[in-house]
């Protein structure tokens, strides 16, 4: 068993990145993820790694582009409005096929909204908030340990597909302290980063490399060799299809005999599980699908369960974003209900969707 720590989710991001061999972190202050930036500021320079506090999130995401263009592992983290500023960069990182990790600690919106928790950036992360339509794997941990594990997985997946990977938590998971076991994973072999810029004399074959965020518009031989826009689209499409095939991640809980399936991720999944246990004790056949990744989305299992006649209850701390994907999955075959941010227990920004609210909704639907 590895060393055990008692840390908050935002610090677990740092420990995960360190374990994954991340060499650089770029960040800009924004609540509720400042502990991540501060962790890297304290831990990276003394290990000879790069820490940069940028001038904005636009700066962070573009410095990240340059950092990963050299082939090293690097990441940034942000929340709410900062995530908005990064969208152009996300689109260009995807165009340039730059493997990198972005930690998104969700808060409430729109606008400044709240500096505390929320699950209101689902659509911009899972569906792509920048221009042009693109896909990134979005991992959604629900504990401090899983945050740590998923940051490592994210670095692996980014390198595997040469595509940005988002680790999406929320203000509650970020600020919450839990025991953390430091552990390593063997995810398997990865392709060599023979496309990276490092100075021509440092290239093993002595041939220069070029990476670009303008693939499709400007041909950049010889790495990669796309010469037309459609070639780029084909390469990206093929990559997205491979991800959809291999990277769907979810956990089922008591779904076998369930009449009602709760779908949730992050903190609302933790909350819902508490309610589900109580409802089960009262004899209600409730199950849960906890999403560990919201892109690629497990449409298949939603469709299968809908065909069996299960009804769905989506619990998410927003006005309804995840629920749209669930509706696509069930294809109108069954009812899909939403318990959203309006069910928060308190009107201030400290309000949460608590187990009581979820339980009452379960009772209402099971009547």
* Closer Cβ to another protein, 66 or 320, answer by number: 66
Cβ nearer to another protein, comparing 217 with 342: 217
Q: How far is the CB of 134 from another protein (least distance, A)?
A: 14
Rounded to a whole number of angstroms, the minimum distance from the CB of residue 71 to another protein is 8
Summarize as ranges the residues that interact with another protein (CB under 8 A): 23-24, 26, 50, 52, 54-56, 58-59, 62-70, 72, 74, 88-89, 92, 96, 197-203, 208-214, 218-221
Q: Which is nearer to another protein, 50 or 365 (CB)?
A: 50
Distances (CA, A) of 305 to 283, 309, 314: 20, 7, 14
Phi, psi (degrees; rounded to nearest 5) at 160: -60, -45
Residues in the chain: 367
- Smaller CB separation from another protein, 191 or 221: 221
Q: How far is the CB of 101 from another protein (least distance, A)?
A: 14
CB 279 within 8 A of CB 228: no
In angstroms, the CA 122 to CA 128 distance is: 9
Which pair of structure tokens corresponds to residue 366?
């099971």
In angstroms, rounded to a whole number, what is the distance separating the alpha carbons of residues 55 and 203? 32
Tokens of 351: 């309000």
Task: Report, in Å, the least distance between residue 229 CB and another protein.
Answer: 15
Residue 52 DSSP symbol: E
Token pair for residue 228?
Answer: 């037309």
Least distance to another protein from the beta carbon of 2, Å? 28
Q: How distant, in Å, are the alpha carbons of 83, 252, 359 from that of 255?
A: 34, 6, 17
Q: What distance in Å separates the CA atoms of residue 299 and residue 62, rounded to the nearest whole number?
A: 33
Three-class SS state of 197: coil
d(CA 189, CA 163): 16
CB of 22 to another protein, least distance (A): 11
Q: Please state the closest distance from residue 240 (CB atom) to another protein, in A.
A: 21
Q: Quick count: other Cβ atoms within 10 Å of Cβ 98?
A: 24
Nearest residue (CB) to another protein, 76 versus 272: 76
Shortest distance (Å) from residue 87 CB to another protein:
12
Find the helix packing angle between 87-95 and 57-69, rounded to 10°: 20
Nearest approach in angstroms of CB 81 to another protein is: 16
The residue (of 228 and 246) whose beta carbon lies closer to another protein is 228
Q: b vs e for 327-346, b when ≥16 Cβ sit within 10 Å of the residue's Cβ?
A: bebbeeebebbbbbbebbee
d(CA 2, CA 272): 30
Measured distance CA(358)–CA(365) in Å, rounded: 11
Nearer to another protein, 202 or 360 (CB): 202
22 versus 165: smaller Cβ distance to another protein: 22
Q: With respect to another protein, which residue has the nearer C-beta, 65 or 267?
A: 65
β-bridge pairing 137-139 and 293-295: antiparallel
The two tokens of residue 78 are 């942000």
């Amino acid at each position: 068993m590895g060393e055990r720590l008692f840390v908050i989710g935002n610090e677990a991001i740092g420990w995960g990145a360190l374990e994954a061999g991340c060499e650089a972190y770029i960040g800009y202050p924004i609540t509720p993820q400042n502990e991540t930036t501060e962790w890297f500021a304290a831990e990276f320079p003394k290990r000879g790694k790069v820490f940069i506090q940028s001038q904005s999130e636009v700066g962070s995401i573009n410095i990240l582009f340059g950092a990963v263009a050299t082939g090293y592992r690097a990441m940034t983290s942000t929340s709410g409005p900062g995530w908005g500023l990064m969208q152009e960069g996300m689109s260009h990182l995807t165009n340039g096929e730059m493997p990198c990790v972005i930690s998104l600690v969700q808060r409430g919106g729109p606008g400044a909204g709240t500096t505390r928790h929320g699950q209101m950036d689902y659509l911009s992360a899972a569906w792509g908030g920048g221009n042009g339509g693109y896909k990134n794997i979005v991992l959604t941990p629900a504990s401090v340990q899983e945050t740590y594990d998923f940051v490592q997985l994210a670095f692996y997946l980014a390198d595997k597909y040469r595509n940005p990977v988002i680790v999406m938590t929320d203000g509650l998971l970020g600020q919450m302290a839990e025991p953390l076991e430091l552990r390593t994973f063997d995810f398997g072999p990865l392709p060599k980063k023979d496309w990276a810029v490092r100075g021509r004399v440092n290239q093993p074959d002595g041939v220069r490399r070029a990476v670009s965020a303008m693939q499709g518009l400007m041909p950049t031989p010889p790495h990669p060799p796309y010469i037309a826009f459609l070639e780029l689209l084909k390469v990206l499409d093929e990559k997205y299809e491979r991800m959809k095939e291999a990277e769907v991640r979810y956990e089922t809980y008591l779904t076998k005999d369930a009449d009602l399936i709760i779908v949730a991720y992050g903190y609302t999944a933790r909350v819902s599980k508490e309610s589900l246990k109580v409802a089960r004790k009262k004899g209600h056949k409730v199950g849960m699908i906890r999403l560990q990744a919201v892109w690629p989305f497990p449409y298949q299992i939603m469709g299968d369960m809908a065909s069996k006649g299960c009804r769905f209850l989506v619990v998410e701390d927003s006005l309804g974003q995840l629920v749209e994907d669930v509706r696509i999955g069930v294809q109108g075959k069954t009812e899909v209900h939403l318990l959203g941010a309006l069910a928060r227990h308190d009107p201030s920004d400290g309000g949460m969707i608590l187990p009581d609210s979820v339980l009452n909704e379960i009772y209402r639907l099971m009547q």
